[in-house]
Structure 1
Amino acid sequence: MYRLDPRYAPAPGTVLTAGWQAVAAQLPPGPAIVAVEGPPTADWATIAARLTAECPAPVRTLDIRTHYAPPAEVRRRTMSPADTADPYYCRLAENPLDDLFDQLPRTSRLLGDALLLIVYGPGASLVAHDVLWYADLPKRYAESAVIAGAGGNLGLPGERAELKRLFYVDWPMLDRHRDAIADRLDGWLDVQDPGHPVFLDGDGLRTCCADLARRPLRTRPFFNSTPWGGHWGQRELGFNPGGRNTALGYELIAPEAGILIGHGPDTQAEVPFQLLCVLHPEQVLGPEAHARFGTSFPIRFDYLDTVGGGNLSVHCHPKEPYMRERFGWAYTQHETYYMTLGSPDTRVFLGLREDADLDLFRKEIEEAANDGVPMDPEDHVLTFPAEQGRLFMIPAGTPHASGAGHLVLEISATPYLYSLRFYDWLRPDADGKPRQLPYEHGLANLETERRGDAVARDLVQEPRVLRRGDGWHEELLGALDEMFYEVRRHTLDAGAAVDEHTRGRFHVLNVVAGEGIVVETAAGDRHALAYAETLTVPAAVGAYRLVAPRGPAKVVKALVREPDGS
């Protein structure tokens, strides 16, 4: 059965405790300066008040946000004029967190006759301190808060928050800073429930990460809602049953993915999957992928749920030079669609028609965006039957969209914040306003060379059997020279088992049909994987086995290709 809360027991010796009284008991006896770092979305007033109230020692507090540079200066430092002028996107910020400040306070002067000085808020770790904690809220909370008109942007407390700054300025700056201090954290504080925090000690956090970096694991799944979303995730998995829909399912989107460490819902801490990649990059990614991608986990798995929903927008993603030079990602967003649920009667939009008129395409896009004139994308973009089990290759620049009535397992490169929409069916957003259409970016990246028959030949490939065994076979579903990863599929009869090996490359698995499988490693780890679940197999796992104990199963696997394309 699909797990909404895959959870892993803490390593022996880990301090894992919950509730403000228990958390405050982890503070040092003093005299000491405690820095509590974290994102702006955290409830900093509650954190400071509860730590102060529960601590028996005399405590002073300092809100580091009162020392930020003036808002206009923060904006000037963190976003270029060109990025400010672009209503949709900007380059990923490369600023250090120091850029939020003109001058940092000297905390030694503020301790006075108190035993503890608690400095809190984004940037707290930059002041001199004796103990360092990180109070975290997963990114999904920040996005929801900004959409709801709450929350705030980094360095701009009290101002109405913007999603553009959140995605392209706040998150890159916060992630880079968190990653830089991960190896010296004394405590991790999960504050998803401000009335019931969960504390994980720093050494325990790093021990847990070291353990998880060497065995198969699942990240916590999550679905969000969009205007095109369907209802499969609600009906079949139990996500957000009272919500509008379940559109984008976060199975493994590394920059936002979390891992649950704990004993149960009341005593579990969610830590970023990214910490495993930062602290143990070769074990997780493998030496070659680490050399190519640094600590960025380069493949993501997510769901596009349009079952009972609508068509996605017709869009493309930036080609690599544009992604690197304009937006700041070192690699680009190649994608594939695997049709977990589909039918010959539904469709996928993919690639330009042979006779596509680019001038007319632009004219109709502009009329739709500016004047609300409907267009028919099929006049310019090919469609293909969305048969269940089919894989569609979508290299950067290719116009594409999932049609309605599908559950798409999107197996993609990790960059995920640059969808360059051409047309969105004149559909309003949740606030009733027209959805953003950054079509100029899209047209600047449109792949115009691969058209017509070449689209069908290259991007809708027939499966090729790679190897067979007793009751199983493995197929290559899709690979292209321009894409750095490939997608394969194992088909297992009931009771069959197939031996695998990472060979220094991580694997990502998803059960796309059947009753599920069990993954057994040479080190003795066992991990059940149900239908629709995604599992990361770190490169350090080495030899492992897929077993189908309860019935036939199909398992999709993605991996980074070797430099020679193998």
Structure 2
Amino acid sequence: MYRLDPRHAPAPQAALAAGWAAVAAHLPPAPAVLAVDGPPTVDWDLLATRLAHATDTLVDVRAHYAPPAEVRRIGDTDDDPYFGSLARNPLDDLFATLPSPTPHDGGLVIVYGPGAALVDHDVLWYADVPKRYAEAAAAAGTPGTNLGLPAEKPDLKRLFYTDWPMLDRHRDTLAPRLGAWLDMQDPEHPVWIDGPGLRATYAQLARGPVRTRPYFNSTPWGGHWAQNELGFNPEASNTALGYELIAPEAGILVGTGPDAQAEVPFQLMCVLEPEAVLGADVHARFGASFPIRFDYLDTVGGGNLSLHCHPKEPYMRARFGWPYTQHETYYMTLGGDGAKVFLGLREDADVDVFRKQVEQAATHGVPMDPEDHVHAFPAEQGQLYMIPAGTPHASGAGNLVLEISATPYLYSLRFYDWLRPDADGNPRPLPYEHGFANLETGRRGEAIARDLVPRPRTLREGEGWREEVVGALDEMFYEVRRYALDTGAEADDDTAGRFHVLNVVEGDGVGVLTEAGDRYDLAFAETLTVPAAVGPYRLSATGDRPVRVVKALVR
């Protein structure tokens, strides 16, 4: 059965504590300066209140930021209303001055807030809430969501392209010397894990199968499959984008039970254990960036996605600052009756006419038919559709798409959105100028079906099983394979120095057994990372039905 909260055991030497009394018991002995760093969406005022009894000196670094006008000049400064270039600024650019606290009469000083680690300190903690909280706070208009602007209304563009890159780099540099991690998702019941124990836990996780915590958000096109079948967000308007493994936002639940678990960033495991997770060759190419993502697009009972494309690599590098681009694939886990996948230009597509119709839709609300310009393929269950950067595409209504893609995920260059309003009733933004600057016009017509709707090719097989290549293109750095296992069948594999990502797309599930003796039982629709350090492992079909498992890896 699909698990909403997959949990991993901490390393034996790790110490976990839950609740404010237990957290306070781990405060360093005086005299000392304790710095507690973390993102703006932590409830810093409550943290200060709960720890005030332990100190007579609390220092809020948010009071030392530069004036708002100076902070707003940091990071992306162009007038693009849709996208920004990833900010390269260090966090200390936010500050006019930094405090220099010293313990008085042998006491404990607690310095807290985003950037607290920049203050001279004796002990360093990191308080955290996952990024999904920041996005929700920004969407709700909660003041203080943006970094360095504690009293201002939020700016979602700034959050994505300025705040998150700055915060991630800052956090990653702190990871090797953290004294503790504090999960503040429930501000009245925080969970604390000691720093050495956290690093030992990451080292343990990096050498066995790892499943990150999944969740679904809601958007105007979203469907209801994940609500009805998996139990996600039953009170929400829909379930749209399912975060199975999107490395910059993914978290790993570590703990012994729901009241004693901390969610820690998947990305920190890649920072602390890059070769074990990624493999030496992949690490050399991508640094600590985990380059493949798995997510769901749920339009079952929902609408068509916008027709869009993604930036080609030179444009992505020069304009947005990512070193690699957003190639994608759609694996059709479920295809609705009569449902479609929009993919690639027709042979007779006239780009000038296409552009004029897009402009009319964006400026005057004139409807258009994307099928005048773009192929519409039947949404065939089990088919993989290749979507190299620049290719116009969209999932139609009625589908459950497993999107197996490159990790960059914030650059959907929309052409047309079916004149659909956003959640507030306003027209959804259409950054079509970016889209036409990246539109792939060379591959069209018959080449779309030939290159981008491939048929499976058997790679190897044995008794009761077969491994197929279901998608590979020279221009894409990863490929997608699929195992077909008969009931009760087993197949052996080996990471051979490159991580694998698995997802059960048909059947009840598989057991994943490593040579070291670790076992993970993976259910239908679940995603699992098999780090490079795992080496040989075995897939065993479970349940009473044949099973299919997709696998993605860097080529």
SS in 2 for 1:36: strand
How far is the alpha carbon of 1:495 from its aligned partner? 1.1
Specify the alignment match of 1:516 in structure 2: 509
- 1:3-42 matched pairs, under 5 angstroms: 3-42=3-42
How far is the alpha carbon of 1:49 from its aligned partner? 0.7
Aligned counterpart in structure 2 of residue 392 of structure 1, from 385, 388, 396: 385
1:112-131 Cα distance to aligned partner (Å, 9 max, x none): 23611111000000000001
Does the 8 Å contact 2:300/2:336 carry over to 1?
no
Aligned counterpart in structure 1 of residue 100 of structure 2, from 70, 84, 106: 106
Residue type of the alignment partner of 2:7: R
Specify the alignment match of 1:181 in structure 2: 174
Does the 8 Å contact 2:129/2:183 carry over to 1?
yes
Specify the alignment match of 1:194 in structure 2: 187
Aligned counterpart in structure 1 of residue 59 of structure 2, from 62, 66, 81: 62
1:91 aligns with 2:88: no
Specify the alignment match of 1:383 in structure 2: 376
How far is the alpha carbon of 1:422 from its aligned partner? 0.4
Structure 1 unpaired stretches of 5+? 562-566
Residue type of the alignment partner of 1:499: D
- 1:107-122 matched pairs, under 5 angstroms: 107-108=101-102, 111-113=103-105, 115-122=107-114
How far is the alpha carbon of 1:51 from its aligned partner? 1.2
Does the 8 Å contact 2:244/2:294 carry over to 1?
yes
User: Hey, what's the Cα distance between the residues in 1 that align with 2:542 and 2:388?
Assistant: 36
- 1:474-489 matched pairs, under 5 angstroms: 474-489=467-482
User: Hey, what's the Cα distance between the residues in 2 that align with 1:349 and 1:11?
Assistant: 47
User: Hey, what's the Cα distance between the residues in 2 that align with 1:127 and 1:28?
Assistant: 17
TM-score normalised by the chain length of structure 2: 0.99
Specify the alignment match of 2:554 in structure 1: 560
Pick which of 164-173 and 549-558 moved more. Answer: 549-558
SS in 2 for 1:510: strand
User: Hey, what's the Cα distance between the residues in 2 that align with 1:253 and 1:270?
Assistant: 15
SS in 1 for 2:433: helix
User: Hey, what's the Cα distance between the residues in 1 that align with 2:222 and 2:431?
Assistant: 20
1:123 aligns with 2:120: no
Residue type of the alignment partner of 1:147: A
SS in 2 for 1:374: coil
Residue type of the alignment partner of 2:465: W
Does the 8 Å contact 2:76/2:161 carry over to 1?
no
Residue type of the alignment partner of 1:34: L
Does the 8 Å contact 1:220/1:260 carry over to 2?
yes
How far is the alpha carbon of 1:102 from its aligned partner? 2.6
1:261 aligns with 2:258: no
User: Hey, what's the Cα distance between the residues in 1 that align with 2:360 and 2:252?
Assistant: 45
SS in 2 for 1:78: coil
Does the 8 Å contact 1:59/1:114 carry over to 2?
no
| 4+ aligned runs moved over 4 Å, structure 1 | none
How far is the alpha carbon of 1:76 from its aligned partner? 1.5
1:499-524 Cα distance to aligned partner (Å, 9 max, x none): 00001000000000001000000000
1:253-277 Cα distance to aligned partner (Å, 9 max, x none): 0000000000111110000000110
Does the 8 Å contact 2:44/2:113 carry over to 1?
yes
SS in 1 for 2:498: coil
SS in 2 for 1:278: helix
Specify the alignment match of 1:471 in structure 2: 464
How far is the alpha carbon of 1:79 from its aligned partner? 2.6
SS in 2 for 1:454: helix
- 1:366-377 matched pairs, under 5 angstroms: 366-377=359-370
User: Hey, what's the Cα distance between the residues in 1 that align with 2:252 and 2:400?
Assistant: 24
Residue type of the alignment partner of 1:166: L
User: Hey, what's the Cα distance between the residues in 2 that align with 1:114 and 1:229?
Assistant: 57
1:465-516 Cα distance to aligned partner (Å, 9 max, x none): 1111000001100100000000000000111100000010000000000010
Structure 1's 240 and 344: CA in aligned 2 closer, same or farther, altered over 3 A?
A: closer
Aligned residues between the structures: 553
How large is the RMSD of aligned CA atoms in angstroms? 0.8
Residue type of the alignment partner of 2:132: R
User: Hey, what's the Cα distance between the residues in 2 that align with 1:550 and 1:470?
Assistant: 18
1:539 aligns with 2:539: no
How far is the alpha carbon of 1:52 from its aligned partner? 1.4
User: Hey, what's the Cα distance between the residues in 2 that align with 1:220 and 1:141?
Assistant: 14
How far is the alpha carbon of 1:9 from its aligned partner? 1.2
SS in 2 for 1:494: coil
User: Hey, what's the Cα distance between the residues in 2 that align with 1:338 and 1:86?
Assistant: 32
User: Hey, what's the Cα distance between the residues in 2 that align with 1:534 and 1:106?
Assistant: 47
SS in 2 for 1:508: strand
Residue type of the alignment partner of 1:64: V
Does the 8 Å contact 1:341/1:406 carry over to 2?
yes
User: Hey, what's the Cα distance between the residues in 1 that align with 2:492 and 2:324?
Assistant: 32
How far is the alpha carbon of 1:343 from its aligned partner? 4.5
Identical positions, percent? 73
User: Hey, what's the Cα distance between the residues in 2 that align with 1:350 and 1:453?
Assistant: 12
How far is the alpha carbon of 1:59 from its aligned partner? 2.9
1:136 aligns with 2:128: yes
Specify the alignment match of 1:297 in structure 2: 290
How far is the alpha carbon of 1:326 from its aligned partner? 0.4
Residue type of the alignment partner of 2:111: V
Residue type of the alignment partner of 2:303: G
User: Hey, what's the Cα distance between the residues in 1 that align with 2:415 and 2:442?
Assistant: 18
1:242 aligns with 2:210: no
Residue type of the alignment partner of 2:200: T
Does the 8 Å contact 1:309/1:405 carry over to 2?
yes
Does the 8 Å contact 1:42/1:135 carry over to 2?
yes
Specify the alignment match of 1:564 in structure 2: none
